[in-house]
Amino acid sequence: MPRTVSNGGEELPSDDISSRTMSRRRTENTHNSYKVGFPPKKGAFAEFSDGLKETFFSDDPLRPFKDQPKSKKLWLGLQHVFPMLDWGRHYTLGKFKGDLIAGLTIASLCIPQDIGYAKLAGLLPAYGLYSSFVPPLIYALMGSSRDIAIGPVAVVSLLLGTLLQEEIDPVKNPYEYTSLAFTATFFAGLTQFALGFFRYNLRSPVELADDIDRSIVLGIPSGSQVHSLLVSAIAPLISVIISTFCVYLTRADKQGVAIVKHIDQGINPASFHRIYFSGPNLTKGFRIGVVAGMVALTEAIAIGRTFAAMKDYQIDGNKEMVALGTMNIVGSFSSCYVATGSFSRSAVNYMAGCRTAISNVVMAIVVMLTLLLITPLFKYTPNAILASIIITQCLD
């Protein structure tokens, strides 16, 4: 039989007593449970600061600098801005051999391309060569991709030329047209730099870059195709040399064959004073520069990410944007127009065995020597051969 217990004269079964005791204990535990309070209310400025940090610096880029001595912080800061200071410590002669061969190979490709691309942008041929001298040097210091080859490209050159010619006639006003090109280049670089500095996600262009990545991977040759690719990289320069020699011997220019004519000899002249910082051309340059800068940025990101994945290393998207922006800003001060990563040259650079961004430095040195020594030799280069080079590269 169940036991009964007296409760003030009332006898209760022992089961009821146990149930009431457990209920009382649960009630006491509920009253004694820990309550989470509301966080202290922040001011408007504190909330705004936290929002900015969460938006732009969610990965806490300053974490490596914490609890470090000042000298270490300075060195880390320099390495962050100039990645070459980091990987340059491990640079070897073996790597330089690969970079030297790759740099010479892409230089042989870029020289005829640059002359043609400058004409595509409505500029004098020398400006194409200028844009393969200064920007690659800046990128080699600040960029994080080992394989990307910097310089003018067909898409951006055509886009820039089309937008510029809607505003100014390059035949009637060549000086003003070129100055507007420098202004657009400045704002293209400023746009790219700002996106990287403020660590903008750049979601739409990156999604577009993903689609471009797949097309690049499908187009990268392998195995027996490598030799033919390297031969085709030298073919444009050989074509230019042969056609120029033929025109000079036959004086075909006297019979109506259009030629390059004069190319200024010497390295990049300063152009800071030609950038429009006021007046109606400021607005035009800003609008054109933003469009051209975004297109150039998308192409460079796609190339960098593709080859980084193929070689199993990481690139920092924000550093890339800052590097591209800086090189175009500096380029606008030194007679360059918008430069970015080139699909064709980067593929050749990769297949020629580049190891680091030093291949860009080698290419820039070759372009510099070309500007200083042999530009007069391109006087009789027919425009038709330059057009065929551009068409061939676009089809490839």
* Helices of type H across 166-202: 174-197
R_g (Cα) of the chain, nearest Å? 31
**How far apart are alpha carbons 359 and 107 in whole angstroms?**
9
Q: State the chain's maximal CA–CA distance in angstroms.
A: 133
The whole-number pLDDT of residue 236 equals 83
**How far apart are alpha carbons 262 and 99 in whole angstroms?**
32
Q: Which among 380, 332, 344 has a CA at the least distance from the CA of 150?
A: 344
The whole-number pLDDT of residue 53 equals 59
Helices (H) and strands (E) in the chain, counts: 16, 4
Q: Where are the beta strands (DSSP E) in the chain?
A: 4-7, 10-13, 150-151, 340-341
Q: What angle do CA 220, 133, 302 make, to 5 degrees?
A: 30
**How far apart are alpha carbons 112 and 119 in whole angstroms?**
11
Q: Which among 234, 296, 244, 262 has a CA at the least distance from the CA of 107?
A: 234
Core vs surface per residue 293-315: b (16+ CB within 10 A) or e: bbbbbbbbbbbbbbbbeeeeeeb
Q: Is the pTM of this model over 0.85?
A: no
DSSP three-state, residue 341: strand
The whole-number pLDDT of residue 118 equals 93
The whole-number pLDDT of residue 214 equals 45
CB 42 within 8 A of CB 33: no
Q: Which among 382, 120, 349 has a CA at the least distance from the CA of 246?
A: 382
**How far apart are alpha carbons 191 and 131 in whole angstroms?**
18
Structure tokens at 365: 């040195």
Regions in the chain scoring below 70 on pLDDT: 1-39, 42-44, 46-67, 200-232, 394-396
Give the 3-state DSSP-derived string for 231-285, with helices as H, strands as E and coil as C. Answer: HHHHHHHHHHHHHHHHHHHHCHHHHCCCECCCCCCCCCCCCHHHCCCCCHHHHHH
**How far apart are alpha carbons 252 and 339 in whole angstroms?**
33
The whole-number pLDDT of residue 262 equals 84
DSSP classification of residue 375: G
Count of residues in the chain: 396
Is the four-CA dihedral 348, 343, 110, 387 of positive or negative sign?
Answer: positive
pLDDT in tens, 137-169: 999 999 989 999 999 999 999 999 999 999 999
The whole-number pLDDT of residue 352 equals 86
DSSP three-state, residue 367: helix
**How far apart are alpha carbons 303 and 213 in whole angstroms?**
7
The whole-number pLDDT of residue 127 equals 95
DSSP three-state, residue 114: helix
Q: Which among 171, 98, 71, 117 has a CA at the least distance from the CA of 356?
A: 98
Roughly what angle, to the nearest 10 degrees, separates helices 93-120 and 225-250? 50
Tell me the percentage of the chain whose pLDDT exceeds 70: 74
- Please list the helix, strand and coil fractions of the chain in percent, rounded to the nearest 5, in that order: 70, 5, 25
